[in-house]
Structure 1
Amino acid sequence: MALLFLGASRCSICREVLHPGQAIVATTHFIGEPTDPLSRFSDTGMHHECFAGWEHRDEFAARYHAALGVRLAGWVLVVPAPPGGPPLPRCRLSVLGTPEARAGYFEALRARVAQDANPGAAADGGA
């Protein structure tokens, strides 16, 4: 996954800064050929709005699927708040895909959040 610093990293499409609270699409490195015109967008983040209107969106998403075997589905910012510090701003989540794929993604996300909140429950069967 792209390493992004909200408030400093820039959208690879419009080059504007990515801020907390914005819907962001990010990918891992999947285009290895540096002469490929789309390689500079691999392993980066971009505003969801920029990605949605991008002329290369369909080709980029198809190549992501071909390379990784999964559909380009979106990105969630997961950063723990420092102990005793203020809570970190949340990012809106944008999940691309069919309604069924989005529902499955959110179910998996809810399960992971529940597991992270109670890690012993998985080991002891929830008892």
Structure 2
Amino acid sequence: MQREKISAELEYESHKCQELESENKKLKNALNELRKALMEKSSPDTTAPGAPANRVLLDQMTSVSEEVEVRKEEVLILRSQLMSQKEAIQPKNMMTDSSILLEDVQKMKDKGEIAQACIGLKETNRCLESQLQSQKRSHV
């Protein structure tokens, strides 16, 4: 049930992202058209008052747009790294999810299986505890 919810959320986010990318593309095209129109207007008469300032502003806008594109790429890379880390962490969380553990216990047929599982968990806890203690000693 939780996976379905996550899947639905991912699908919604994907759809929303596509819509935003489409809107972004439209805005970029409009910006480029405006930029071209300004370039064409300022090109014939470069001695007109304000023409050099207009050119400087256009150059600054171009460099800022390039910087934004670089930052977008960085954000995409970081986002993909974050998703990879989340996916790596997710199975660990499932080990501690009490509802999953309860389902496993309910599937066990008799008290003997439950007792064996309990003994196994105790041994695992002891082993993990000793590993943790040794790591603490080595880091101190």
TM-score of the aligned structures, taking structure 1 as reference length: 0.22
Q: Which has the higher contact order (CA 8 A, sep 6+)?
A: 1
Question: Max radius of gyration: which structure?
Answer: 2
Higher strand share goes to which structure?
Answer: 1
The alignment's TM-score, normalised by the length of structure 2, stands at: 0.21
Which has a greater percent of helix?
2
